[in-house]
């Protein structure tokens, strides 16, 4: 016979005042009016990570309109909206009481991006929400009455206010879903227009601060306005025509004086691989899903990456076709970041001089004269960027310092007091008038990727799905004892993504690595399994802490793992 909410209440009354271990008695399922409650895991003590709960509501009760389930984009946006509402409502209706994290009902709070999450799952039959509960205690004694209050009053109220269509602000939900759908559609149109990114007129690009991703709302905020020559109009399914600046394929420079908004524009483009919530200001800033931020990252580990396209003939004959180091330099790290991103499917490189290695970007005439080519292992990016472009790999590059790049640009956008101006024509004239005198470096060969097969990630035994993984914010992943530093993988935007990447790597190691599949093949296999079975496929137990990350970011994490073993086929 199944247990009810009254049974849960009476267990909690019975264990009131007892040692914390007695909380284990509440594991199980309970029928509540209108939903079922699952207590999947009970924390061992008040200071342990909080207990894992779920609720399931049948669509007969929740009644979400079926149109929200018609596409992946809509379903993701609906679930994202519900997760926001659940998280905020839980924070409002519960508070800390007693020891440790006691007393709180908690679901991770989403940021400005609309992401696929596993905290709320919706299908035609039911809605499931996964959250955690700090089971309350005084010292190590169970506070049964408080627990009863949380389980039998707070949780039903949160469910009622957030997971039942009738009780929501229907127009807010509608807007959330329609904005995401429009952004997704605009992103899908980019190839038809020959673009790698689109920035709608009226967008608000600057953020409040480096740690606050909400739109800047103080002082004079200049809304984005496209220069006429780069303006395009695209049609979004819900909003209709949207006008803005198109960034064409090829090599695009963003130039301008310091503090005129160059990096802010590039950062918005970086984030344009994701959809944004209504009111964010970047709702219709959309970028190719294959765009990757590239930066220098000295100190990172590199394992068996072929960086010879950029760097060869290192002192002491280190082999750069199969380059490994525990501690990369600025230039070698930036080279590896490009090569590995391309291997993982990148087609657009986003580069900011602020975070680049100067000697990787440029060697000017005078330096070429002073230091003989034979003494310089680096073929600078300026001599590769056009060859990459010929292979269909575009670059958007922020530059204030080196005019030598004017020779290799297809489009030059100048930021002038936060307003973009198309200076492509003027840039050509300048390039004609002031010859750089540089000599082209490197051979004229187009980029050919090496074929790499990961042999082992080195942190788990074969078949072991239980090696401990942890994530700290968006910066660090722990796999067993191995730490991966993701601070410089800038398109990881949500701590749920680091959690997901950590477990995805464990899953790769335990289930997919076969000593034969190449990096792109492994990423494709993983992608198929996730598309079929959801993110839960990599989870060792049921929880709601994942957000989806791209294969590009999963590969970035794998490539930074110090225990990675790679075999190169050619």
Binding site for ligand ADP (CB under 6 A): 205-206, 216, 221-222, 256, 258-264, 415, 418
Q: Least CB distance from residue 400 to ligand ADP, whole Å?
A: 7
261 φ/ψ sector (left φ>0, alpha ψ -120 to 50, else beta) = left
401 binds Mg ion, rule: CB under 5 A: no
Report the site for Mg ion in 339-358 (rule: CB under 5 A): 354
In angstroms, the CA 529 to CA 536 distance is 10
Tell me the C-alpha distance between 555 and 337, whole Å: 11
Q: In the numeric block, which tokens belong to residue 410?
A: 């297809």
- Taking residue 264's Cβ as centre, other Cβ atoms within 10 Å add up to 18
Give the residue with the Cβ less far from Mg ion, 132 or 263: 263
For Mg ion, the closer of residues 162 and 263 by Cβ is 263
Q: Which of 155, 162, 152, 266 is nearest to 206 (CA)?
A: 266
Please report the sign of the dihedral spanned by the C-alpha atoms of residue 505, residue 511, residue 512, residue 513. Answer: positive
Judged by beta carbon, residue 74 or residue 207, the one nearer ligand ADP is 207
Residue 233 binding Mg ion, by CB under 5 A: no
Instruction: Examine residue 70 and tell whether it contacts Mg ion (CB under 5 A).
Output: no
CA–CA separation, 511 and 522 (whole Å): 10
- Measured from the CB of residue 361, what is the shortest distance to ligand ADP in angstroms? 16
Find which of Mg ion, ligand ADP, none residue 168 binds, CB within 5 to 8 Å per kind. none
Angle, helices 155-162/72-93, rounded to nearest 10 degrees: 140
Question: In this structure, what DSSP letter does residue 19 have?
Answer: B
Residue 41's binding partner among ligand ADP, Mg ion, none (Cβ under 5 to 8 angstroms by kind) is none
Question: What does 418 bind: ligand ADP, Mg ion, none (CB cut-off 5 to 8 Å by kind)?
Answer: ligand ADP
Q: Which is nearer to Mg ion, 172 or 354 (CB)?
A: 354
Nearest distance from residue 407's CB to Mg ion, in Å? Answer: 22
Answer yes or no whether residue 331 interacts with Mg ion by CB under 5 A. no
Shortest distance in whole angstroms from residue 263 CB to Mg ion = 3
Considering the complex, state which of residue 206 and residue 304 has its C-beta at the smaller distance from ligand ADP: 206
What is d(CA 193, CA 212) in angstroms, rounded to the nearest whole number?
33
Binding mask 379-398 for Mg ion (x = CB under 5 A): --------------------
CB of 184 to ligand ADP, least distance (A): 25
Q: Choose between 91 and 216: whose C-beta lies nearer to ligand ADP.
A: 216
Question: According to the 3-state scheme, what is the secondary structure of 505-567?
Answer: HHHHHHHHCCCCCCHHHHHHHHHHHHHHHCHHHHCCCCCCCCECCCHHHHHHHHHCCCCCEEE
Given candidates 112, 263, 356, 559, which one binds Mg ion under the rule CB under 5 A?
263
CB of 204 to ligand ADP, least distance (A): 7
Q: Which residue has the tokens 């939900």?
A: 173
- CB nearer to Mg ion: pick between 110 and 261: 261
Q: Give the DSSP H/E element, type plus range, for residue 276.
A: strand 275-276
CB 346 to ligand ADP: min, Å: 23
What is the rounded CA–CA span in Å between residue 199 and residue 226? 8
Shorter beta-carbon distance to ligand ADP: residue 142 or 493: 493
Six token digits for residue 306: 């072929």
| Closer by beta carbon to Mg ion, 187 or else 260 | 260
Q: Any contact of residue 264 with Mg ion (CB under 5 A)?
A: no
Partner touching 88 among ligand ADP, Mg ion, none, CB below 5 to 8 Å by kind: none
Shortest distance, CB of residue 224 to ligand ADP, whole angstroms?
A: 7
Partner whose footprint covers residue 260, from ligand ADP, Mg ion, none (CB < 5 to 8 Å by kind): ligand ADP
CB neighbours (10 Å) of residue 177? 25
Measuring CA to CA, how many Å separate 507 from each of 297, 372, 465, 562?
27, 48, 7, 18
3-state class (DSSP) for residue 158: helix
Question: Which residues of this protein are in contact with Mg ion, per CB under 5 A?
Answer: 263, 354
């Amino acid at each position: 016979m199944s247990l009810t909410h009254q049974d849960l209440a009476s267990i909690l009354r019975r264990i009131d005042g007892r040692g914390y271990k007695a909380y284990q008695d509440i594991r199980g399922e309970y029928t509540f009016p209108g939903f079922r409650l699952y207590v999947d895991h009970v924390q061992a003590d008040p200071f342990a990570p909080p207990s894992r709960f779920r609720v399931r509501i049948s669509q007969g009760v929740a009644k979400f309109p079926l149109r929200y389930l018609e596409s992946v984009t809509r379903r993701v946006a609906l679930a994202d909206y519900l997760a926001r509402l659940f998280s905020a409502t839980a924070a409002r209706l519960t508070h800390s009481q007693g020891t440790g994290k006691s007393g709180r009902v908690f679901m991770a709070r989403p940021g400005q991006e609309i992401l696929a999450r596993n905290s709320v799952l919706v299908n035609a039959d039911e809605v499931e929400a996964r959250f955690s509960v700090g089971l309350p205690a005084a010292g190590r004694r169970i506070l049964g009455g408080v627990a009863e209050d949380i389980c039998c009053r707070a949780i039903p109220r949160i469910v009622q206010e957030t997971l039942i269509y009738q009780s929501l602000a229907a127009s807010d939900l509608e807007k959330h879903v329609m904005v995401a759908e429009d952004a997704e559609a605009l992103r899908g149109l980019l190839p038809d227009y020959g673009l790698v990114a689109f920035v709608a007129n009226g967008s608000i690009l600057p953020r409040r601060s480096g740690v606050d991703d909400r739109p800047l709302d103080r002082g004079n905020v200049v809304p984005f306005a496209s220069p006429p020559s780069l303006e395009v109009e695209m049609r979004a399914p819900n909003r209709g025509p949207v006008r803005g600046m198109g960034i064409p394929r090829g090599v695009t420079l963003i130039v301008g004086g310091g503090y005129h908004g160059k990096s802010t524009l590039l950062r918005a483009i970086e984030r344009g691989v994701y959809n944004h919530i209504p009111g964010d200001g970047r709702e219709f800033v959309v970028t190719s899903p294959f765009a990757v931020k590239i930066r220098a990252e000295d100190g990172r580990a590199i394992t068996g990456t072929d960086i010879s396209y950029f760097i060869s003939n290192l002192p002491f004959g280190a082999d750069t076709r199969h380059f490994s180091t525990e501690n990369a330099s600025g230039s070698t790290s930036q080279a590896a970041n490009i090569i590995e991103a391309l291997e993982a499917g990148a087609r657009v490189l986003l580069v900011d001089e602020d975070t680049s290695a100067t000697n990787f970007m440029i060697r000017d005439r005078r330096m070429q004269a002073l230091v003989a080519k034979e003494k310089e292992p680096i073929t600078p990016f300026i001599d590769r960027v056009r060859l990459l472009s010929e292979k269909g790999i575009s670059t958007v590059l922020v530059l204030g310092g080196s005019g030598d790049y004017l020779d290799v640009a297809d489009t030059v956008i100048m930021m002038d007091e936060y307003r973009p101006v198309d200076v492509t024509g003027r840039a050509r004239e300048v390039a004609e008038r002031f010859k750089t005198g540089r000599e082209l470096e490197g051979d004229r060969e187009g980029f050919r990727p090496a074929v790499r097969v990961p042999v082992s990630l080195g942190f788990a035994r074969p078949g072991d799905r239980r090696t401990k993984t942890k994530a700290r914010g968006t910066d660090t992943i722990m796999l067993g004892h191995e730490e991966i530093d993701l601070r410089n993988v800038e398109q990881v935007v949500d701590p749920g993504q680091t959690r997901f990447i950590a477990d995805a790597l464990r899953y790769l190691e335990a289930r997919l690595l076969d000593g034969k599949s190449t990096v792109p093949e492994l990423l494709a296999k993983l992608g198929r399994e996730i598309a079929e079975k959801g993110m839960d496929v990599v989870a060792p137990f049921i929880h709601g802490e994942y957000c989806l990350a791209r294969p590009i970011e999963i590969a970035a994490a794998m490539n930074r793992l110090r225990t990675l073993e790679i075999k190169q086929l050619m």
